[in-house]
Amino acid sequence: MSKLTDVPKRILIGRALRSDKLGETLLPKRIALPVFASDALSSVAYAPEEILLTLSVAGVSAIHFSWQIGVVVAIVMLAVVASYRQNVHAYPSGGGDYEVATVNHGPNSGLIVASALMVDYVLTVAVSTTSGVANVVSAVPALRGHEVGLSILVVLILMSMNLRGVRESGTAFAIPTYAFMAGVFSMTLWGLFRHLALGADIHAESAAYHLQAEPGETGLAGFALIFLLLRAFSSGCAALTGVEAISNGVPAFRKPKSRNAANTLLLMGTIAVTMFMGIIYLASLTGVRMADDPATQLIGAPENYHQKTALAQISEAVFSDFKPGFFFVAAVTGLILVLAANTAFNGFPVLGSILAQDRYLPRQLHTRGDRLAFSNGIIVLAGIAMVFIVAYGADPTRLIQLYIVGVFVSFNMSQSGMIRHWTRLLRTETDPKKRSHMIRSRAINTFGLVMTALVLIVVLVTKFTHAWVAIMLMVVLFVMMKAIRRHYDGVAEELVSAEEPGEDAVLPSRVHSIVLVSKLHKPTLRALAYARLARSSVLEAVTVNVDPPDTKALQAEWHERGIEVPLKVLDSPYREITRPILEYVKNLRRSSPRDVVTVYIPEYVVGHWYEQLLHNQSALRLKGRLLFTPGVMVVSVPWQLESSERRKQQREWSAPGSVRRGEPRRQRKPEATVTGPDKGAGTNDAKDSSS
């Protein structure tokens, strides 16, 4: 099967990289910014819209609060950026919030953070791709109705790009990220210039419509108004998502890693806040009206009116005299929102690798793929994100409601852990200069904790009807990771050797070897010769009597050749192969529990995947059953057919550095492979290998 997938795999992800090439995949700051900050930068495209949508329930009277809410969100964002700059200096290993919480609060706190981050990464992919598709649909209405399919297609493209490696994907994503920044800054500056210098009236297409409050929400005041503003603030805090990604990706930076990561984080925060406030200002200037239910809330809108995103309306108004500017902003916004998922594709696999190393997730997530990326983590992330996209109909507004909880849970645990970190260091530090630095850092983290704690409380109070789904997912992940750790700990305890094991505790008393036979030909003779080399206590050949004439012919030839190994025939009235062998092996184990039974299976090795379809797979089934039988070892003895040899030569000729045509090749003799409970099973079957 590996031959079947090898060529498409090379086309999809490229040639494999050597492990010593890992240093070449490290990122300079100009590439690290779009790789790790695309999520935070893209959040400014939909966070202002979420504020406007939330305020719309009270009608046009509440819209003027949008810029005040935007200022508070910007302050919180700057506080979080300043706090995480302390994180990357104190914990540069890439564990991020998980490492901070584990070291300072214990393993359970670390798992809470890990659960929150993993939910956040999955939702980052779902929200970013669906938001990007929504912006594209706003510019190209003909695509409306295909949002789910387009979103899944985008996730698959991102997955394949990331499987090629961090550096290559980062280079591919750099241009759209910088183009988005240029588009938003150009739109903001041109809008300010037209309004302030030229005195132009800039109006969005929805500014002419009257925004009516939802039934029962007219004239909000007092507590109801405060609750609405808090809910709008919590929606706007979606702009903070992705800030933590750099602290999780410090190992991917070039040296000096911590300083480069901290500088990139500061640059990202400055750019994101500037863009966010620019969009908030232009939304107020152009009079954008956003409604949860445009058909009933936007009075004066045509019946077939399809509401565009806030950013699309703003850019259309600002570039009303320059349509290419509008299409440019729409295109780069769609791209950056889609590529913002790349932040999760870089963060999730690294976190999964760390958790797998700590035995909280399957070990396969700790393995790097051909391109030195954590391929299994990338594939798992894409698969779960697609499930969310389908379940929520590719609706970014519904997905965003689940989004913020995980982010701010990790923010809070991280900042409280950093406070404990600095307090612990201050107990032993005597250098006044270093103490001053630690006190300042602790103050920054304390301010960050206060801000993020307030936001988390607001989010839980105002969005619990949606947030409970994210909380439930975090609980499920927490319980699952604890169970995986218990399993790995139990296996380790079971397999650990005694300090001074006696020989009888390790070695079996005898080895009973069995060679499976159906016909007497070259693969069988090789298996017999190999089994003899092992010098087992008992060696016998076993055949299953599924066809009496064939069995008699085999016995006659066996005696004619004078083979010294005894041949045992197992009856099979129902023409089964697997069951009689399993029963025979189990009987041997029951009669001599301290013996080990070794089963030798001759196998064909073919050159092409379609040739394997011509042979049945009873050996594979037999191995799968034998591997779960205690005290049984399975040995595969391969026999390379001519097609296998030809295929090997073709691959050698096509491989880089292959010998030239006409030069002699050294032929390799096939080797036997042994499989046990932790090894892979073979492919061709025993009965087939003798036919």
Among 162-166, 392-396, 405-409, 518-522, which is the least confidently predicted range? 162-166
Instruction: Give the CATH architecture of domain 509-658+665-689.
Output: 3-Layer(aba) Sandwich (3.40)
Specify the range with the lowest mean pLDDT, choosing from 358-362, 370-374, 406-410, 574-578. Answer: 370-374
CATH superfamily of 24-488: Amino acid/polyamine transporter I (1.20.1740.10)
* Amino acid at position 616, single letter: N
Q: Write out pLDDT tens, residues 178-194.
A: 999 999 999 999 999 99
**Nearest C-alpha neighbor of 514 from the set 593, 569, 554, 552:** 569
Rounded (10°) CA dihedral 118, 120, 125, 127: 160
Q: What percent of the chain has pLDDT over 90?
A: 19
Q: What angle do CA 593, 599, 602 make, to 5 degrees?
A: 175
- The predicted-structure confidence for 14-43, as pLDDT tens digits, reads as follows 555 444 444 445 677 788 887 777 778 888
Backbone dihedral region of 165: left (phi > 0), alpha (psi from -120 to 50 degrees) or beta? Answer: left
List the one residue out of 362, 626, 589 whose CA is nearest residue 491.
Answer: 362
CA 493/CA 392 separation, integer angstroms: 43
Helix (H) or strand (E) holding 75: helix 66-90
Least confident of 235-239, 385-389, 586-590, 639-643: 639-643
- Rounded-to-5 percentages of helix, strand, coil across the chain: 70, 5, 25
Which tokens sit at 428? 């032993």
Q: Is residue 616's pLDDT more than 50? A: no
Q: For 516-555, what is each residue's pLDDT tens digit?
A: 998 888 888 888 999 988 888 899 999 988 888 889 999 9
Tell me, what's the pLDDT at 300? 76
CA distances from residue 369 to 350, 355, 378 in whole angstroms, order as listed: 13, 17, 10
Average pLDDT over residues 242-262: 80
d(CA 281, CA 286): 9
Residues 207, 284: Cα–Cα separation, whole Å: 10
Which residues does residue 569 pair with via DSSP β-bridges, in sequence order?
A: 543
Does residue 508 surpass a pLDDT of 80?
Answer: no
Region 64-89: mean pLDDT is 88
Residue from 612, 610, 552, 544 nearest 579 by CA: 544
Domain boundaries, the chain: 24-488, 509-658+665-689
Q: Give the per-residue pLDDT at 24.
A: 46
Distance set, CA 435 to CA 88, 238, 249, 387 (Å): 19, 35, 28, 49
Residue 327, judged by CB atoms within 10 A of its CB (0-12, 13-18, 19+), counts as middle
- pLDDT confidence tier of residue 217, bands split at 50, 70 and 90: low
pLDDT of residue 111: 93
Q: What is the pLDDT of residues 628-684, one digit of tens each?
A: 788 888 888 887 777 666 666 666 655 555 544 444 444 444 444 444 433 333 334
Q: Which residue type, as a one-letter code, is found at position 307?
A: Q
Average pLDDT on 614-635 reads: 75
Helices 396-426 and 66-90, axial angle in degrees (round to 10): 50
Give the C-alpha distances (Å, rounded to integers) separating 163 from 15, 38, 355, 655. Answer: 11, 18, 20, 22
- Cis bond before residue 256 (omega within 30° of 0): yes
At residue 538, φ and ψ (nearest 5 deg) are -135, 135
How, if at all, do strands 538-545 and 511-516 pair? Answer: parallel
Q: State the first-to-last Cα distance of the chain, in angstroms, to the nearest integer.
A: 22
Q: What's residue 671's pLDDT?
A: 45
pLDDT at 165: 60
| DSSP β-ladder status, 511-516 and 298-299 | unpaired
Candidate ranges 228-232, 294-298, 441-445, 546-550; pick with highest mean pLDDT: 441-445
Q: 210 - beta bridge partners?
A: 299
Lowest mean pLDDT among 212-221, 354-363, 383-392, 470-479: 212-221
Q: How far apart are CA 29 and CA 257, in angstroms?
A: 10
Neighbours of 325 (CB within 10 A): 18
**Which of these, 155, 669, 100, lies nearest to 417 by C-alpha position?**
100
Please report the DSSP string for 326-346 in residue order.
HHHHHHHHHHHHHHTHHHHHH
Q: What is the pLDDT of residue 29?
A: 78
pLDDT of residue 278: 93
Place of tokens 């988390």: 456
| Mean predicted lDDT score pLDDT of the chain | 79
The answer to whether residues 521 and 495 touch, using CB atoms and an 8 Å cutoff, is no
Q: Which residue has the higher pLDDT, 615 or 494?
A: 494
Other beta carbons less than 10 A from residue 471's beta carbon: 18
State residue 220's pLDDT score: 53
> What is the tens place of the pLDDT at every residue in 106-145?
999 999 999 988 998 898 889 888 888 887 887 778 888 8
Instruction: Mean pLDDT check: name the lowest of 138-147, 213-222, 426-435, 641-650.
Output: 213-222
Tell me if 622 sits within 8 A of 577, measured CB to CB: yes
- Model pTM greater than 0.85? no
pLDDT score for 542: 94
Exposed (0-12), middle (13-18) or buried (19+): which is 266, by Cβ within 10 Å?
middle
| Alpha helices for 359-506 (secondary structure H) | 375-391, 396-426, 432-495, 503-506
| DSSP notation for 417-439 | HHHHHHHHHHTT---HHHHHHHH
Residue 669: Cβ within 10 Å count: 5
Q: Count CB atoms within 10 A of the CB of residue 308.
A: 23
C-alpha 306/C-alpha 448 separation (Å) is: 40
pLDDT of the residue at 663 = 45
Rounded mean pLDDT of 391-417? 84
Whether 509-658+665-689 and 24-488 are alike in CATH topology: the answer is no
> pLDDT digit string (tens) for 284-327?
899 888 887 776 777 877 777 778 888 989 999 999 888 899 88
